[in-house]
Amino acid sequence: MFSIYKKELQSFFYTPFAYALTALFMLLFSYMFGTSIAKLEETNVLRFSFPDVFYNVIIFFIFLIPIMTMRTFADERKFGTEVLLMTSPLSVLKIVLGKFFANVTVFLFMIAGSAVFPLVTKAHGTVVQSQLICAYIGFFSWGLMFITLGMLISTFTENAVIAAIIGELIMFAFLFLDDFARSAFMYQYPKLQKVLMAFAAQPRFAYFSQGFIRLSDLVFFGSATIVLLAWTYISIEKRRWKRG
Which residue(s) pair with 47 in the sheet? 126
**211 near 138, Cβ under 8 Å?**
no
- Each residue of 98-121: pLDDT tens digit? 999 999 999 999 888 888 888 877
Q: In 10 A of CB 41, how many CB atoms?
A: 4
- Each residue of 23-34: pLDDT tens digit? 998 888 888 777
- Each residue of 127-151: pLDDT tens digit? 777 788 888 888 899 899 999 999 9
DSSP structure class, residue 115: G
- For residue 185, the enclosing domain spans 2-242
Per 3-state DSSP, what percentage of the chain is helix, strand, and coil (rounded to 5)? 80, 0, 20
DSSP structure class, residue 63: T
pTM of the model: 0.88
Report the domain count for the chain. 1
Return the amino acid letter for 125. G
pLDDT score recorded for residue 150: 93
